Structure 1
Amino acid sequence: MRLDEARAMIELLAMLVTDPRTGVLIALLLGAAVFDYRSFRIPNWLTASGLAFGMAWTILVPPLPGAGWSFPVGGVMTGFIAMFPMYMLRAVGAGDVKLMAMAGSFLGWHDTLFALLTSFVVGGVAAVAFAACHGMFGRLLDNTRQLLCHLALSAVGGQRPAMQLGAHQSAGKLAFGVSIAVATIGNVVARQLGFI
């Protein structure tokens, strides 16, 4: 490890100790990932308390000069608006939408959007790995093809699309809250280390 990399790691650890915003966000994301992995549910008390802390702390101690109330509100709205259509299509759960909105209260709109996009990449890789490990890769590809055809036909026909498969057709279920946690924590750490 080079000297500048070691210095960046020490600064990251110092930031976690001195900036409650980052430490609390990471703790909340890890807690949500554990709950989601174990029960496929993210408790409302976790997302609501995280949202309240993120909003209050970010308004009282802005992360950037001149960042006022619009910084956390922009993050919350970005997380919610970007995830809500996925919830309506039943691709993610309501807890995932609330978790991304909660993370947005800490991150602001720009970092929330980046974390969201990274979450979809992490979730996609996890889905492919899960299907491959369980011998369901062919089913995953077939389901993806069917859903894309259905979505295209629904769009052409002017109908509301639905992304539901029967239980016998599913290639499995993943906790997307874990993907959100991994991606968001990875973005926070990468930004602190100067990689993004």
Structure 2
Amino acid sequence: MSLDSRALLPIVLLAGLLAWAVASDVHSRRIPNRLVLAGIVAGLALQATVTPGAGLFSEPFGALGLLKSGAGMTLGLLLLLPMYALGAMGAGDVKLMAMIGTFLGPLDTVGAGLASLLAGGLLSLTVALCQGSLGRVSGNVKTMMLGSVLRGLSGGNAQVDAPPSATGQLPYAVAISSGTVAYLLLTRYFGWSLL
């Protein structure tokens, strides 16, 4: 795919927002609401003002419109909300995926979300391997999931408890950003069809 020069604005905007989210999450383990709000406003503004087309990162370049942008935002929120409800992810991460949805629209938000979950799993495994804590991580996952399932089946709260022995926390904005970028590169610039 050849790059339409008009696509540079959304690419630079989304890349800057993702870089800001990663830097903030790595530094303070928080994704600021003002970042998410600025991204949502920017995504909606682009979708409302750019000439209609196949998407801000698609060929032919153009906006999907406010309806599809809103649907992408909603899907981004819903995609990661269960993990937040289980206590496995922070609210900022969920809002970041919703922000990405305003830029991508519904179908690509699902693809980017799934790629982000995959990136998060790979990142977790890589960190555990490098730290020599893979056995402890797998034991924690087993204990946490079993406890959650048993409580849910007995009518209790299925929220995942904190791990019995801490293995560290990952700034999930890294996984969301790398998954989103990988999805866009693979589907737009290398022609892969992931969905």
TM above 0.5, one fold?
yes
Mapping 1:59-70, distance limit 5 Å? 59-61=48-50, 62-64=52-54, 67-70=64-67
Pairwise CA distance, 1:189: 1.9
Question: Which of residues 46, 49, 54 in structure 2 aligns to 1:57?
Answer: 46
Q: Choose 117-126 or 17-26, whichever is displaced more.
A: 17-26
CA contact (8 A) 2:145 2:160 kept: no
Once residues 31 and 65 of structure 2 are traced to their aligned partners in structure 1, the CA distance between those partners, rounded to angstroms, is 29
Alignment correspondent of 2:168 = 172
Pairwise CA distance, 1:19: 3.7
Q: Counterpart of 1:29 in structure 2: which amino acid? A: L
Deviation beyond 4 Å, 4+ runs, structure 1: none
Q: Counterpart of 1:124 in structure 2: which amino acid? A: G
Seen in structure 2, the aligned counterparts of structure 1 residues 66 and 186 have a Cα distance that, compared at 3 Å, is closer
SS of 1:42's partner is coil
Alignment correspondent of 1:125 = 122
CA contact (8 A) 2:33 2:92 kept: yes
Alignment correspondent of 1:116 = 113
Higher helix share: 1
Once residues 173 and 184 of structure 1 are traced to their aligned partners in structure 2, the CA distance between those partners, rounded to angstroms, is 21
Pairwise CA distance, 1:77: 0.2
Q: Choose 59-68 or 31-40, whichever is displaced more.
A: 59-68
Once residues 138 and 53 of structure 2 are traced to their aligned partners in structure 1, the CA distance between those partners, rounded to angstroms, is 43
Question: Which of residues 182, 187, 191 in structure 1 aligns to 2:178?
Answer: 182
Q: Choose 152-161 or 126-135, whichever is displaced more.
A: 152-161
Task: Note the residue ranges of structure 1 that are not aligned, 5 or more in a row.
Answer: 1-7
Q: Counterpart of 1:179 in structure 2: which amino acid? A: A
Once residues 14 and 36 of structure 2 are traced to their aligned partners in structure 1, the CA distance between those partners, rounded to angstroms, is 11
Seen in structure 2, the aligned counterparts of structure 1 residues 68 and 45 have a Cα distance that, compared at 3 Å, is same
Mapping 1:1-196, distance limit 5 Å? 8=1, 11-12=2-3, 15=5, 18-61=7-50, 62-64=52-54, 67-165=64-162, 169-193=165-189, 194-196=191-193
Once residues 139 and 35 of structure 1 are traced to their aligned partners in structure 2, the CA distance between those partners, rounded to angstroms, is 28
Ranked by relative contact order (alpha carbons within 8 Å, sequence separation 6 or more), the top structure is: 1
Once residues 39 and 121 of structure 1 are traced to their aligned partners in structure 2, the CA distance between those partners, rounded to angstroms, is 24
TM-score (norm 2): 0.87
CA contact (8 A) 1:131 1:172 kept: no
Seen in structure 2, the aligned counterparts of structure 1 residues 130 and 114 have a Cα distance that, compared at 3 Å, is same
TM-score (norm 1): 0.86
Pairwise CA distance, 1:59: 2.1
Q: Counterpart of 1:74 in structure 2: which amino acid? A: A
% identical aligned pairs = 33
Pairwise CA distance, 1:56: 1.4
CA contact (8 A) 2:100 2:109 kept: yes
